[in-house]
Chains A and B, each alone.
Chain A
Amino acid sequence: MKNLRKKVYITAGYNTISMGTGRKEFNPKKPRPGLEEYIVEAGKGVIQQIGDASLIDEAVISNFQASRYNNQANLAAFIPYIDEKLRYKPVTRVEGACGSGGMAIATAVRSILAETADVVLVLGVEVQNTVKAVYGADILAGAGWYKDRKNGHVHFFPGQFSNRAGKYFEKYGREITRKAMARWYKNAIENARLCPTAQEYHNTMPDPEAVAMVEPNPKVFLENITVYDCSKVSDGASALLVCSEEGLKKIQKSYQESVEIIGIGQAMEDITKPPIDPTQLDTTKVAVSRALQMAGVSINDIATVECHDCFSIAGIMAIEAMGLAPYGKGAEFVLEGNTARNGRIPFNTTGGLIGWGHPVGATGVHQAVTIWEQLTGKAGDAQINIPFDRPYGLSVNMGGDDKTLTSIVYKKL
């Protein structure tokens, strides 16, 4: 494992609102901002923090399926639309399904390491509410192998993770796992209520944990999971800057306003193969251990995690893949309160994919922005305490069914 050959920082993060059902202002029958508006809002949100777009050397834009949701491809050329000073800058568009955002950061890091850029704008975006859920499911299924679609569920990905949950129930017990899934939902909602851009910010359920204990019903949805176990359909964008040491100076950002990326692990698995063991997230495990190894820290040194809880069961399995709990003990780990915001290692402090939202191509970037906020004290009402002896954050961004992974370790400065 090679180490990063020079220091890499992130700063100037920005999240739009994650728009969709749950937000008071969301009305599916009324016109809403489109892809362009989200790109511009997030881009300007970053530029405003440095004052001058010409300081940006290049950009990476991540998105999953704009060509189907919005009939729009060639997204790289939307970067100059944000600010005319970005005209003729090099831009790369990356796609790795729900793992697109993490992939974009990794791409930006490479530009810094290659010394072809000092300031790289990373922007993730997805606008999904253009189609009904029944058609959105087809589009999202593109994150899996097309040849598996025919035999998949109406809601393809929820189907895949319902199957995983079923296997997990068989092996480790249904009752405790369902309880942990409900607790996961409660944590997500309570955290989202502290973050004004979160999709569940307006959620007023008196007892989300009890609500999420409703029995799954395969006649209307799925056998092993309910809607409360799933992230929602979201419109949103997130952006940040990845910088070299020189880059930070150029944009006049202090260490206090920045965090350092000290480890990054990417791992991809064959999309045509089913998981070796459906109760485990093996690719996640590889990516996280790679990132930790590069950073030279252990999972127990991490103060907070942004984890890819597209489904609550994925969150529980991720805990095990990270090595925070042995296989089969992830549910217990959650029920003991470890991942709650006042727990030993708070997870998804602004709600994660289930609470904050999951604008697919933006999610990996949103995770990094959230960690950056927490480690720089910019998380507002959602701010958690970062213990001085554990000044690290970890993000795990997953594309498809544990196929396209990027994990990043961040250090508070």
Chain B
Amino acid sequence: MNYNERMQKVAVLGAAGKMGSGILLLNAIELADLSLLPENKGKTFVVYAIDVSEEALSGLIRYVRAQVLKAAEKKIMWLREVYKDRADLIENGQMIDEYINHVMSLIRPSTLIESAFNANCIFEAIKEDPDLKVSILKKINENNPNQPWFFTNTSSIPIQFLNEKADLNGRIIGYHFYNPPAVQKLVELIEAKNTLPEIRTFSFELAKKLNKIIVESNDVVGFIGNGHFMRDIIHAASEVERLKSQYGFVEAIYMINKVSQEYLVRPMGIFQLIDYVGIDVCSYIMSVMNHYLPQENIVCPLLNEMLALGIKGGQYADGSQKDGFLKYEKGKITAIYNLDSKEYVALEQIQAKVDALLGEKPTAIVAWKSVVGAKNKEEILQQFFAELNKMNTLGAELAKAYGSQSKAIGKYLVSSGVAKSEDDVNKVLMTGFFHAYGPINNYFN
């Protein structure tokens, strides 16, 4: 079965979820594009969008339609070529509509797992629950006569565990997209012990078609991305713990969030990122990692305290941010949660005071947005961090500690055999987390 044949029947499990919807979108577009190639004329391509929630599947269809519209507008030059023999399609707008209808016609939304019994490729993006994943993969494998290949989006569970428990005989690979899958370039690829070599080859081919960059990670829980992120959270939380007695809890959260964004030139502060991913998701990933890494203590009581109060972060169905450590209005941070008083404290109440405590900002400070795409990025960052390293304000000291710890985590991922190289670690943070520079660098010594 070649690439085209294998892609004729695809299933996405958890298709209406945050990751699943993006994975479904990418697959639906890829299937549509394949089906429009002259050599595939007359062949049927379908993607089964499987999810437990009828309501979420309706939302999924709306999401996909809106996203395909954007994609179609971008590929209009190609569409004019593809539809050149369609006498009924004359204007750009007509071709865009036709393409959207075509993509939508390939999607089979369903709440029934049985739909996957017919697929060749199964992308799994269900809840990060090992037992649930095993039971579903096992069930599909037992009932699907096609010897399907499984692509799991797990960000933390070892692939070998799923392979063994679901009796997949190497027909599985970790294919870990980053959030949102339609935008983020990175796919972490993780092989189980006996993953079939042809699945790995196919994975690279697919990534190329989806315009993704693959970084291979070893099959160690958390892999590279979460391996760094979760340990980064633990450092941030321990800093808050240390600072709160002197400055107060809200103030400490503000400090670390600000330092981790502005002083480290990252797209988001660490607490904003936790809220974005979801406090519950982060906590769950940590518990899985902690289970598999008994020699290390991967726990963060701070996350659990928030969860105990029902504060989870994450996003609403329309993509807007739910409140977590921080409160958001139209995407902007307006307040910080106070664990002691159990209410949000408006930013303006503490901002000026804490900014003064952090001290003068480095004069060369630059916004992540203006650096990330700059041609002379390296030069800008060198200059900025050289200045930062000479400063001894509270802000600079926290930043230096944070950057050094991030670097240590990066190095640990290589020395402990998770990542194959320092370069891979940097690539994951830059393409999966949009960092302007990798954690393993010469800025922090």
> A residues bordering B, Cβ < 8 Å?
132, 134-135, 137-138, 141, 146, 149-150, 153-154
Alpha-carbon distance between A138 and B80 when the two chains are bound, in angstroms: 12
A-B contact pairs, 11 of them (CB 8 A): A132-B73, A134-B73, A134-B93, A135-B93, A137-B92, A138-B91, A146-B90, A149-B90, A154-B76, A154-B80, A154-B92
A138 CB contacts on chain B under 8 angstroms: 91-93
A134 CB contacts on chain B under 8 angstroms: 73, 76, 92-93, 96
The DSSP consensus for interface residues of chain B is: helix
**B87 contacts partner chain A, Cβ-Cβ < 8 Å:** yes
The reply to whether A154 and B77 contact each other, CB–CB distance below 8 Å, is: yes
Contact with A along B61-87 (1 / 0, CB 8 A): 000000000000100110010000001
Q: How far is the CB of A59 from chain B (nearest CB, A)?
A: 33
B90 CB contacts on chain A under 8 angstroms: 146, 149-150
Q: How far is the CB of B267 from chain A (nearest CB, A)?
A: 21
Q: How far is the CB of A294 from chain B (nearest CB, A)?
A: 40
The DSSP consensus for interface residues of chain A is: helix
Q: Which 4 A-B pairs have the closest CB atoms?
A: A138-B91, A150-B90, A154-B76, A134-B73
A153 CB contacts on chain B under 8 angstroms: 80
Alpha-carbon distance between A135 and B96 when the two chains are bound, in angstroms: 10
**Band of interface residues on B:** 10 to 19
Alpha-carbon distance between A139 and B48 when the two chains are bound, in angstroms: 37
B80 CB contacts on chain A under 8 angstroms: 153-154
A141 CB contacts on chain B under 8 angstroms: 91
Alpha-carbon distance between A138 and B93 when the two chains are bound, in angstroms: 7
Closest to B79 in A: A154
Closest to B95 in A: A154
Q: How far is the CB of A342 from chain B (nearest CB, A)?
A: 35
B87 CB contacts on chain A under 8 angstroms: 150
Alpha-carbon distance between A137 and B87 when the two chains are bound, in angstroms: 19
Further 9 A-B residue pairs, CB within 8 A, beyond A132-B73, A141-B91, A154-B92: A134-B76, A134-B93, A134-B96, A135-B93, A138-B91, A138-B92, A138-B93, A149-B91, A150-B90
Closest to A220 in B: B77
Could you say which of B73, B76, B91 has the most chain A C-beta atoms within 10 Å of its C-beta? B91
Closest to A218 in B: B77
Closest to A149 in B: B90
Could you say which of B80, B92, B96 has the most chain A C-beta atoms within 10 Å of its C-beta? B92
Q: How far is the CB of A99 from chain B (nearest CB, A)?
A: 22
Closest to A152 in B: B80
A132 CB contacts on chain B under 8 angstroms: 73
B91 CB contacts on chain A under 8 angstroms: 138, 141, 149
Q: How far is the CB of A156 from chain B (nearest CB, A)?
A: 9
Closest to A136 in B: B92
Closest to A135 in B: B93
Q: How far is the CB of B71 from chain A (nearest CB, A)?
A: 12
A137 CB contacts on chain B under 8 angstroms: 92
A149 CB contacts on chain B under 8 angstroms: 90-91
Alpha-carbon distance between A137 and B90 when the two chains are bound, in angstroms: 12
Closest to A147 in B: B90
B92 CB contacts on chain A under 8 angstroms: 134-135, 137-138, 154
B93 CB contacts on chain A under 8 angstroms: 134-135, 138
Q: How far is the CB of B78 from chain A (nearest CB, A)?
A: 10
Alpha-carbon distance between A7 and B76 when the two chains are bound, in angstroms: 52
Closest to B89 in A: A150
Alpha-carbon distance between A154 and B75 when the two chains are bound, in angstroms: 10
Alpha-carbon distance between A154 and B87 when the two chains are bound, in angstroms: 16
Alpha-carbon distance between A137 and B92 when the two chains are bound, in angstroms: 8
B96 CB contacts on chain A under 8 angstroms: 134
Alpha-carbon distance between A141 and B92 when the two chains are bound, in angstroms: 10
A146 CB contacts on chain B under 8 angstroms: 90
Q: How far is the CB of B80 from chain A (nearest CB, A)?
A: 6
Q: How far is the CB of B70 from chain A (nearest CB, A)?
A: 10
Alpha-carbon distance between A149 and B83 when the two chains are bound, in angstroms: 13
Q: How far is the CB of B407 from chain A (nearest CB, A)?
A: 39
Alpha-carbon distance between A135 and B93 when the two chains are bound, in angstroms: 6
B77 CB contacts on chain A under 8 angstroms: 154
Alpha-carbon distance between A358 and B240 when the two chains are bound, in angstroms: 57
Q: Which of B220-241 contact A (CB under 8 A)?
A: none
Closest to B81 in A: A154
Could you say which of B76, B80, B90, B96 has the most chain A C-beta atoms within 10 Å of its C-beta? B90
Closest to A131 in B: B93
B76 CB contacts on chain A under 8 angstroms: 134, 154
Alpha-carbon distance between A42 and B388 when the two chains are bound, in angstroms: 55
Closest to B94 in A: A138
A154 CB contacts on chain B under 8 angstroms: 76-77, 80, 92
Q: How far is the CB of A382 from chain B (nearest CB, A)?
A: 34
Q: How far is the CB of A81 from chain B (nearest CB, A)?
A: 30
Contact with A along B92-116 (1 / 0, CB 8 A): 1100100000000000000000000
Closest to B80 in A: A154
Q: How far is the CB of B265 from chain A (nearest CB, A)?
A: 26
Alpha-carbon distance between A135 and B90 when the two chains are bound, in angstroms: 12
A135 CB contacts on chain B under 8 angstroms: 92-93
Alpha-carbon distance between A149 and B76 when the two chains are bound, in angstroms: 14
Alpha-carbon distance between A143 and B176 when the two chains are bound, in angstroms: 49
Could you say which of A134, A135, A146 has the most chain B C-beta atoms within 10 Å of its C-beta? A134
Alpha-carbon distance between A174 and B80 when the two chains are bound, in angstroms: 28
Contact with A along B135-165 (1 / 0, CB 8 A): 0000000000000000000000000000000
Alpha-carbon distance between A154 and B96 when the two chains are bound, in angstroms: 11
Q: How far is the CB of A118 from chain B (nearest CB, A)?
A: 44
Alpha-carbon distance between A153 and B76 when the two chains are bound, in angstroms: 10
Closest to B73 in A: A134
Alpha-carbon distance between A135 and B94 when the two chains are bound, in angstroms: 10
Alpha-carbon distance between A141 and B94 when the two chains are bound, in angstroms: 14
Q: How far is the CB of B268 from chain A (nearest CB, A)?
A: 22
Alpha-carbon distance between A154 and B92 when the two chains are bound, in angstroms: 7
Alpha-carbon distance between A347 and B4 when the two chains are bound, in angstroms: 57
Alpha-carbon distance between A141 and B91 when the two chains are bound, in angstroms: 9
Alpha-carbon distance between A229 and B106 when the two chains are bound, in angstroms: 41
Alpha-carbon distance between A149 and B95 when the two chains are bound, in angstroms: 13
Q: How far is the CB of B247 from chain A (nearest CB, A)?
A: 39
B73 CB contacts on chain A under 8 angstroms: 132, 134
Alpha-carbon distance between A134 and B69 when the two chains are bound, in angstroms: 12
Alpha-carbon distance between A153 and B90 when the two chains are bound, in angstroms: 11
Could you say which of B73, B76, B77, B87 has the most chain A C-beta atoms within 10 Å of its C-beta? B77
Alpha-carbon distance between A138 and B87 when the two chains are bound, in angstroms: 16
Q: How far is the CB of B67 from chain A (nearest CB, A)?
A: 15
Alpha-carbon distance between A150 and B85 when the two chains are bound, in angstroms: 9
Q: How far is the CB of A210 from chain B (nearest CB, A)?
A: 16
Q: How far is the CB of B100 from chain A (nearest CB, A)?
A: 13
Alpha-carbon distance between A134 and B93 when the two chains are bound, in angstroms: 8
